[in-house]
Amino acid sequence: MSRTQVSITTRDGVCPASLFTPDGRGSGPWPGAVMLMDAVAIRPVMVENAQRLADSGYAVLLPDLFYRDGSYEPVTDVSRLFGDEEVRKALFAKMGKATSPDGARSDMQAFLDFLAARPEVEGGKVGVTGYCMGGGLALRAAADFPDRVAAAGAFHPGNVATDAPDSPHLGAPRIRAKVFVGGADEDQSFLPEQAERLRRAFDEAGVDHRVEIFEGARHGYVMRDLAVYDEGAAERHWRELVSLFDSALKEAA
């Protein structure tokens, strides 16, 4: 594994992060990417996923979006996060801070500036991929930084096309990136009407996109440490993600 642990200063504090590069393939440089975590935590599966993306030929930044609440114990029992009411409340509070539009924009600015200054990273544009809450953040990043985000992937995202005044789909007119959204068939946070609203927003804005529902998959299908993990859907996610990034960051170079 080619992992460098780093600290990134943001408007709201210091964000612990890791930078991954292709294992055993020299010093680069490679196109940059940002992987935005799900609502559980930074944990071994997120580290594994970041390295797997890096091994496809990218310098991948994995930031801990819960940094505003300080350090936390390693997550070893994911089920407790959702089964214990007090733990669940604390988790939702962390999520709220991580996903506020203003804070997310400020964080992404810091992440993009960090990558731009690294010798391992080539080019001025990056790809962003996110999971669960990170899916909405990836779409926001594409809208907030259209000159810097060339590709955005959102997998088992939730509540990205709602009636909320700051719903991520409203940023579609500002997006210039290629976009792939892979929703879950069994996901109350991304129902068919949300998927259709998102498609319509992208169509009207002229965004190069695909919004698809993975049949039979449940929210969280990418993460191997969750009970809802779906190997077929997860592997499809990898094919779609690498193809998306390659087309926007390698083939277009």
According to the model, what pLDDT value does residue 76 have? 66
How far apart, in whole angstroms, are the C-alpha atoms of residue 202 and residue 198?
Answer: 6
C-alpha distance across the termini of the chain, in Å:
27
**Torsion angle of C-alpha atoms 245, 23, 234, 103, degrees rounded to 10:** -60
pTM of the model: 0.95
pLDDT in tens, 189-215: 999 999 999 999 999 999 999 999 999
pLDDT digit string, tens, across residues 226-238 = 999 999 999 999 9
CATH classification code of 3-250: 3.40.50.1820
Domain ranges of the chain: 3-250
